[in-house]
Structure formats: structure tokens, C-alpha cells
Amino acid sequence: MVPGIIAVVDDDEAIRVALRSLLRSMGHEVRLFADAFSFLAEATLRPPDCVLTDIQMPGMNGLDLQREIRRTMPGLPVIVITAFPEEAIRRQAMADGALCFLSKPFETAAILHWLAEALGERK
């Protein structure tokens, strides 16, 4: 897989730390954000190649973030990861153009598969 720049948006620090280690072990560059606003502030200047975002976050939630990305950075692939998988939320995320919708705890193979897809799309 071609290494890329992956942004992780999750209010849970343990998840951010774990994803950073996993994604770096695959050779990716990782940028961590505890909330949607700090991600948007930076991504408009230095867009990543793919975003992994949580749904339940204080301030702006993952679904709103996804819509904002669709509006301002239409080509950016979004992988949604939630600890609280609800069918209605999944449908909403997919309708808004999420690449995929994963539940925590997620399997690494799934992340790998969708990242490959996302970074392949980039070409």
C-alpha cells in the first residue's frame, strides 16, 4: 500500500494513541485531532489523504463533520468509526458519502482494506 497522510478525529485519547501507533507501523503519516473543529482548521490548509472519524464527540459530531468535509473537501475519503453502532446513524453516514462505517472494536483487516481503497482512490 502507498503510504499516505491519515487524520484521526476522536475525542478518546486512548483510541487516538492506538490508531497512531497502528497507522505509523504501516508507514503512514498520522495527524491526531480531539475534535472536529481543530481538524477542519488544519485540514483546509494541509489536507490529509484520508480521515478516520468518530461519531459521538462533543461540539461537532462525526456526521456533521462528514457533511462539512463533503462540502469543503469533496474528494477526501472518510472512514467512520463508532463505539455506538446504530442502524439509523450508519445509513445517514453512508448516504452522506462515507467510504465505510466500522464499529469499535474494529478489526485491523477492515481498516487496512478500506485504507487501501481510500488511498487507491486518491490516484
Taking the complex as a whole, the smallest distance from the CB of residue 79 to other proteins amounts, in Å, to 13
Q: At what angle do helices 62-72 and 87-95 cross, to 10 degrees?
A: 10
Q: Which of residues 14-53 bind other proteins (CB under 8 A)?
A: 14-15, 17-19, 21-22, 24-26
Residue 117 interacting with other proteins (CB under 8 A): no
The three grid cell numbers given for residue 119, joined into one nine-digit string:
488511498
Taking the complex as a whole, the smallest distance from the CB of residue 120 to other proteins amounts, in Å, to 20
**Count of residues engaged in binding other proteins, rule: CB under 8 A:** 24
- Of 7, 11, 117, 3, the residue nearest 56 (C-alpha): 11
Among the listed residues 45, 88, 105, 123, the single contact to other proteins using CB under 8 A:
105
Among the listed residues 72, 75, 84, 122, the single contact to other proteins using CB under 8 A:
84
Distance (Å) of CA 107 to CA 67, 73, 113, 117: 26, 28, 10, 16
Residue 87 interacting with other proteins (CB under 8 A): no
Residue 110 interacting with other proteins (CB under 8 A): no
CA within 13 Å, CB half, 95: 8
The three grid cell numbers given for residue 28, joined into one nine-digit string:
503512514
